[in-house]
């Protein structure tokens, strides 16, 4: 057909995609919500840039010191933290990462090359990549300041190192998404990930507990680890700069080549996933059919909760079904208990990892606060996992008050379960928490929880964002929600800390209980007020709710 080439030019397609993204961004600014999101992004971006520049200055000074002191090998000590941050931050701060649904692109005649380039371009917009790149620029400037002749070489090596990091992040996420795409692999992955996290956390307490013996073991491990780190990307990059600094060009060039090989190898592994996606891979959730071809044997009765309207009870039941089917969400629920065991395993006095052994009375309140903090991920966007189910809430006769009440009760049920588990943990690790501690913890939660629930209910209506419970990484929360959540946590934890400090100063713990109960009464009034408003707000914002959640 006239006007159509067999292979559309990649540059034109990439230009079209960039143009569409830009137009979508511009159109989003037409709405108040889009402008609010932009404002939140600017605030968060400023914080990230501040951290990036601060880190770049510190790392730059470190690089300058290392090279000017004639110890360029020490650059590995700077490159390793950058490397670890680059790989771990996207996992920990999923709310700040941009996601891409590749399936939308595949209906166009996009070449594989163009597809890969689009994926990589999205990766380059990740905050971890931006921060990591900024820090590497700082290191390069530090090296150039100490030895101007080394600047261009350092820039080339660090550029290759940055490319390796970016590709590795993409590769990790591509494979993690693959493992999380199916229930069976998701469960295996969740267990492995959980064990890995626990193992990492256990290193500190173990080293502390076994004292000198562990120091000796640590030294032995160090002797083994040093050659290993030297052949990994941060070590290779540091060695490439170090060799050039000492005038031995051939090994320096060879090491740069090794970085290139790393990049190539990672790209190769990444391309296995990208090719599968490019060819229209569909990962089904379906378990083996054999186990399913069994006709339903009677339908169970729905939940009935005394004192609760049946609509709210139905929502509580639905929320528990949802929560129980999400491995990643369940992991976040048990994290506070695991962390308490980690920090409670002990260590010598003054060691951070064993601080709960020194102050066991803090275990319950700190663990509870941490549990509530993790729960805010759900509380602040409680309609997100419902997706197009929001339409049902809008057309059904049930009030949003009951819907939100049901969700809040389900989340508080989770918190109550965690509190009981934490109490048992404290009892097993140390001793039964003092009644005073339990009362302070409960009264503190009675103050903090209603405020978070009230804010969560309102933000869920004002700033909804569709989320998927079954997915682990790269789900963007609304930036407005992220920012507001920060502000509320600062307020709540600040007030709680001041209350506790005053009570401690006067050595009268009961003062904290009384103060928390007073604040709890105010918080509960606020919660009730917010709950009475949700029906009006939902009716007013029904278009935004359906637009955002039915995407």
Partner 1 sequence: MPEPVHPAGGATPSSTSFAVVTDHLTRRFGDLVAVHDVNLRVAAGQFFGFLGPNGAGKSTTIKMLTGLLAPTSGQIEILGLDFSTQTTSVKRQIGVVPEGLALFGRLTGAEYLTFVGRMYGLDRETTAKRTAELLDFMQLANEPKKLVTDYSHGMQKKLALAAAVIHGPKILFLDEPFEGVDAIAAGTLKSMLQRMIAHGATIFLTSHVLEIVERLCSHVAIIHHGALVAQGSLAELRAGVEAQAAGGSEISAGSKLNLEEIFLRMVGGTRSAEQELSWLG
Q: Which residues bind partner 1 (CB under 8 A)?
A: 1-3, 284-287, 291-302, 304, 310-311, 313-315, 317-318, 321-322, 325-326, 385-392, 394-399, 469-470, 539-540, 542-543, 546, 550
Distances (CA, A) of 181 to 57, 96, 285, 319, 471: 41, 21, 7, 22, 8
What does the alpha-carbon distance between residue 166 and residue 270 come to, in Å, rounded to a whole number?
A: 11
Q: Supply the minimum distance, in Å, between the C-beta of residue 537 and partner 1.
A: 13
Six-digit token string for 250 = 């051939």
Report the residue number, 321 or 348, with the smaller CB distance to partner 1.
321
Q: What is the DSSP letter of 149?
A: G
Report the residue number, 313 or 371, with the smaller CB distance to partner 1.
313
Instruction: Tell me which H or E stretch contains 178.
Output: helix 151-180
Residue 261 in contact with residue 103, Cβ under 8 Å?
no
Report the residue number, 4 or 228, with the smaller CB distance to partner 1.
4
Six-digit token string for 46 = 């400023």
Report the residue number, 386 or 418, with the smaller CB distance to partner 1.
386
DSSP codes, 183-238: HHHHHHHHHHHHHHHHHHHHHHHHHHHTHHHHHHHHHHHHHHHHHHHHTSHHHHHH
Q: Supply the minimum distance, in Å, between the C-beta of residue 19 and partner 1.
A: 24
Distances (CA, A) of 528 to 405, 445, 457, 458, 520: 10, 16, 11, 12, 12
Q: Which of 374, 379, 519, 376 is nearest to 443 (CA)?
A: 519
Q: Supply the minimum distance, in Å, between the C-beta of residue 81 and partner 1.
A: 38
Residue 62 in contact with residue 79, Cβ under 8 Å?
no
Q: Which of 524, 351, 341 is nearest to 422 (CA)?
A: 341
What does the alpha-carbon distance between residue 166 and residue 123 come to, in Å, rounded to a whole number?
A: 7
Report the residue number, 147 or 533, with the smaller CB distance to partner 1.
533
Q: Supply the minimum distance, in Å, between the C-beta of residue 301 and partner 1.
A: 4
Residue 389 CB-density burial (10 A; 0-12 exposed, 13-18 middle, 19+ buried): middle
Chain-centroid distance of CA 243 in Å reads: 38
Contacts of residue 198, Cβ cutoff 8 Å, sequence gap at least 6: 338, 342
Q: Supply the minimum distance, in Å, between the C-beta of residue 455 and partner 1.
A: 25
Q: Supply the minimum distance, in Å, between the C-beta of residue 107 and partner 1.
A: 16
Provide the H-helix boundaries in 298-434: 310-324, 327-344, 355-358, 363-379, 390-395, 400-429
Q: Supply the minimum distance, in Å, between the C-beta of residue 395 and partner 1.
A: 4
Report the residue number, 1 or 228, with the smaller CB distance to partner 1.
1
Q: Supply the minimum distance, in Å, between the C-beta of residue 538 and partner 1.
A: 11
Placement of tokens 């590497």 in the chain: 136
Report the residue number, 14 or 394, with the smaller CB distance to partner 1.
394
Q: Supply the minimum distance, in Å, between the C-beta of residue 298 and partner 1.
A: 7
Report the residue number, 73 or 311, with the smaller CB distance to partner 1.
311
Report the residue number, 231 or 287, with the smaller CB distance to partner 1.
287
Report the residue number, 31 or 510, with the smaller CB distance to partner 1.
31
Q: Supply the minimum distance, in Å, between the C-beta of residue 73 and partner 1.
A: 52
Six-digit token string for 76 = 């590995």
């Amino acid at each position: 057909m006239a006007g159509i080439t067999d292979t559309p030019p990649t540059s034109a397609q990439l230009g079209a995609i960039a143009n569409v993204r830009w137009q979508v961004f511009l159109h989003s600014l037409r709405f108040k919500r889009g402008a609010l999101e932009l404002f939140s992004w600017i605030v968060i971006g400023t914080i990230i840039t501040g951290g990036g520049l601060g880190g770049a200055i510190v790392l730059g000074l470190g690089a300058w010191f290392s090279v000017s002191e004639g110890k360029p090998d020490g650059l590995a000590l700077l490159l390793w933290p950058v490397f670890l941050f680059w790989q771990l931050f996207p996992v920990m701060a999923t709310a700040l990462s941009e996601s891409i649904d590749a399936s939308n692109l595949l209906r166009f005649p996009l070449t594989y090359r163009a597809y890969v380039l689009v994926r990589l371009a999205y990766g380059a917009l990740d905050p971890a990549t931006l921060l990591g790149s900024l820090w590497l620029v700082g290191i390069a400037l530090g090296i150039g300041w100490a030895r101007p002749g080394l600047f261009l070489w350092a820039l080339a090596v660090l550029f290759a190192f940055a490319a390796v990091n970016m590709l590795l992040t993409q590769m990790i996420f591509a494979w993690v998404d693959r493992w999380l795409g199916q229930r069976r692999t998701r469960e295996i992955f969740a267990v492995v990930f959980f064990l890995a996290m626990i193992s990492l956390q256990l290193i500190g307490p173990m080293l502390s507990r076994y004292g000198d013996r562990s120091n000796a073991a640590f030294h032995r491990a160090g002797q083994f680890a040093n050659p290993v780190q030297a052949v990994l990307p941060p070590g290779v990059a540091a060695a490439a700069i170090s060799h050039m600094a000492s005038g031995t060009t051939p090994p320096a060039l060879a090491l740069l080549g090794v970085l290139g090989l790393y990049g190539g190898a990672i790209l190769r592994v990444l391309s296995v996933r990208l090719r599968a996606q490019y060819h229209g891979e569909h990962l089904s959730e379906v378990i083996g059919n054999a186990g399913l071809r069994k006709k339903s044997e009677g339908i169970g009765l729905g939940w009935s909760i005394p004192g609760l309207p049946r609509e709210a009870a139905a929502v509580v039941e639905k929320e528990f079904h949802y929560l129980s089917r999400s491995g990643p969400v369940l992991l976040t629920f048990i994290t506070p208990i695991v962390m308490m065991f980690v920090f409670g395993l002990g260590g010598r006095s003054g060691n951070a990892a064993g601080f709960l052994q020194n102050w066991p009375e803090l275990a319950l309140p700190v663990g509870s606060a941490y549990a509530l903090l993790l729960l805010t991920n759900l509380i602040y966007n409680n309609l997100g996992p419902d997706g197009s189910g929001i339409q049902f809430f809008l057309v059904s006769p049930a009030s949003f008050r009951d819907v939100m009440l049901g969700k809040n009760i389900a989340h508080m049920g989770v918190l109550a379960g965690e509190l009981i588990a934490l109490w048992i943990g404290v009892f097993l690790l140390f001793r039964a928490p003092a009644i005073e501690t339990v009362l302070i913890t409960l009264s503190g939660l009675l103050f903090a929880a209603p405020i978070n629930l009230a804010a969560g209910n309102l933000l869920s209506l004002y700033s909804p964002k569709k989320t998927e419970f079954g997915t682990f990484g790269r789900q963007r929360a609304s930036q407005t929600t992220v920012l507001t959540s920060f502000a509320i946590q600062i307020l709540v934890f600040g007030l709680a800390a001041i209350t506790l400090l005053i009570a401690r100063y006067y050595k009268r713990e009961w003062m904290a209980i009384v103060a928390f109960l007073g604040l709890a009464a105010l918080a509960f009034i606020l919660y009730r007020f917010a709950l009475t408003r949700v029906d009006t707000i939902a009716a007013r914002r029904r278009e935004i709710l359906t637009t955002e959640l039915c995407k």
